[in-house]
Amino acid sequence: MTSSKYLPLITTIAVFVLAYLICIAQFPSMWSTRVIGNLLTDNAFLGITAVGMTFVILSGGIDLSVGSVIAFTGVFLAVLLQNTSIHPLFAFVLALMITTAFGAFMGAVIHYLEMPAFIVTLAGMFLARGVSFLLSTQSVPINHPFYATLQHLYFKMPGGGRLTLIGITMLVVFLVGSIVAQRTRFGANVYALGGNIQSAELMGVPVGRTTIGIYAVSGFLAGLSGIVFSLYTSAGYSLSASGVELDAIAAVVIGGTLLSGGSGFIAGTLIGIFIQGLIQTYIVFDGTLSSWWTKIVIGLLLFGFIALQRGILWMSEHGSVSFRKKAAA
């Protein structure tokens, strides 16, 4: 039974290794640190927000607002840096404070008004997108010298690959996220909420504080993701990052986290991101395939993983059905 907890994660890793082997067999040059470096850099913003999404989904919730929050952060930074002379670091802090508070607010609405997370974060999605249009409808370029400095910070890996600042940022976020999820009371409470919210409450989990904390973390990471995205694109545009919330959810599910909450690992989400990135890289190498194949393969993978989760659930219920079924009193 212990293995059923790790089975989705093991499957994800196996799928990734297999996919990578197929890629290398076809394009041997894909086995290089350049490809790996690009994989990290290109998916950094998605990975960072997917960590927040993992916390949300582990607790049994969902956060549809992250794509809009990323766009808002980009536009906010671009407009601020264009029209004022404040230092980008200060702008980053401001942006993170706003997005964290926004997430915490949504968490508070979900908890205190007992509203479904789907609806509350859907409202948040429209709100954040709308506000970024209010700031600017145009794509605003960022030409600050500090941005150029950050963009040129990287480690050179053997083989010529570049481990960029934003790639490192993503890896650090995954590491910290994993530790928080597995080794802190907050993390244990997140899993507890995803298991059964009533039981968790009876066992003394501070449900309100934890819920607010989870959505604040998601808001913070969406803000950080927005900063990384603005470093990646050197611009802020209110139409950007649309649908990123769905890509993040896909990465979380492919990474082996149960969509109903309570089971999964942050590390799995990283593999989920790698799988998505790998498919895109493969398409670039191939050169003839349409980029829509990314969506098709991800769709198929999602179906596969949902079926796998059902299967595991069915097996565990089937195994202990005689104990679970409570006799009618």
Partner 1 sequence: MANETPLLRAKGVSKSFFGVAALDDVDFTLRSGEVHALLGENGAGKSTLIKVITGAYRRDAGEVLLEGKPIFPRDVLDAQALGIGTVYQEVNLLPNLSVAENLYLGRQPKRFGMIDMRAMNRLSRELLKRYGLDIDVAAPLSSFSVAIQQIIAIARAVDISGKVLILDEPTASLDTHEVEMLFSVVRQLRAEGLGIIFISHFLDQVFSIADTITVLRNGRLIASRAVEGLERIDLVSMMLGRRLEEAEDTGNGVAADTGGETVIKVRHLGKRGVLAPFDLDVKRGEVVGIAGLLGSGRTETAQLLFGIERADGGTVEVEGQATNLASPQKAVHAGFGFCPEDRKTDGIIGDLSVRENIALALQARRGWAKPLSRREQDDLASQYIEALDIRTAGAEMPVKFLSGGNQQKVLLARWLATNPRFLILDEPTRGIDVGAHAEIIRLIRRLCADGMSLLVISSELEELVGYSARVLVLRDRRHVAELVGEEVSTTGILKAIAASGTTGAAA
Residue written as tokens 């990283």?
270
Q: How far apart are CA 288 and CA 285, in angstroms?
A: 9
Nearest distance from C-beta of residue 198 to partner 1, angstroms:
7
Using the rule CB under 8 A, give the single segment among 20-28, 42-50, 202-210, 234-242 that binds partner 1: 202-210
What string marks each residue from 233 to 272 as x (binds partner 1 by CB under 8 A) or -?
-----------------------------xx---------
- The residue from 25, 203, 296, 315 that contacts partner 1 (CB under 8 A) is 203
If one asks whether residue 113 binds partner 1 (CB under 8 A), the answer comes out as no
Instruction: Name the residue type at position 128.
Output: A
**Binders in 150-189 for partner 1, by CB under 8 A:** 179, 182-185, 188-189
Q: How far apart are CA 59 and CA 62, in angstroms?
A: 9
Instruction: Name the residue type at position 226.
Output: G
If one asks whether residue 103 binds partner 1 (CB under 8 A), the answer comes out as no
Q: Which is nearer to partner 1, 287 or 328 (CB)?
A: 328
- The residue from 83, 290, 292, 327 that contacts partner 1 (CB under 8 A) is 327
If one asks whether residue 195 binds partner 1 (CB under 8 A), the answer comes out as yes
Beta strands 162-164 and 154-156 are antiparallel
| DSSP code, position 161 | -
Nearest distance from C-beta of residue 302 to partner 1, angstroms:
22
Q: Which is nearer to partner 1, 37 or 60 (CB)?
A: 60
- The residue from 194, 223, 236, 277 that contacts partner 1 (CB under 8 A) is 194
Q: How far apart are CA 48 and CA 220, in angstroms?
A: 10
If one asks whether residue 320 binds partner 1 (CB under 8 A), the answer comes out as yes
Q: Where are the alpha helices (DSSP H) in the chain?
A: 2-26, 33-42, 44-58, 66-83, 88-112, 117-135, 145-151, 165-183, 185-195, 197-202, 207-233, 244-254, 266-286, 292-319, 321-324
Give the CA distances from residue 235 to residues 39, 49, 196, 211, in Å, rounded to whole numbers and listed in that order. Answer: 21, 19, 43, 33
Nearest by Cα to 57 from 320, 318, 305: 305
Please work out the total of residues on this chain that contact partner 1, with binding judged by CB under 8 A: 35
Q: How far apart are CA 324 and CA 318, in angstroms?
A: 10
- The residue from 45, 76, 102, 191 that contacts partner 1 (CB under 8 A) is 191
If one asks whether residue 318 binds partner 1 (CB under 8 A), the answer comes out as no
Q: Which is nearer to partner 1, 13 or 200 (CB)?
A: 200
- The residue from 70, 128, 192, 241 that contacts partner 1 (CB under 8 A) is 192
Residues in touch with partner 1 (CB under 8 A): 1-2, 4-5, 179, 182-185, 188-189, 191-192, 194-196, 198-200, 202-205, 262-263, 316, 320, 322-329
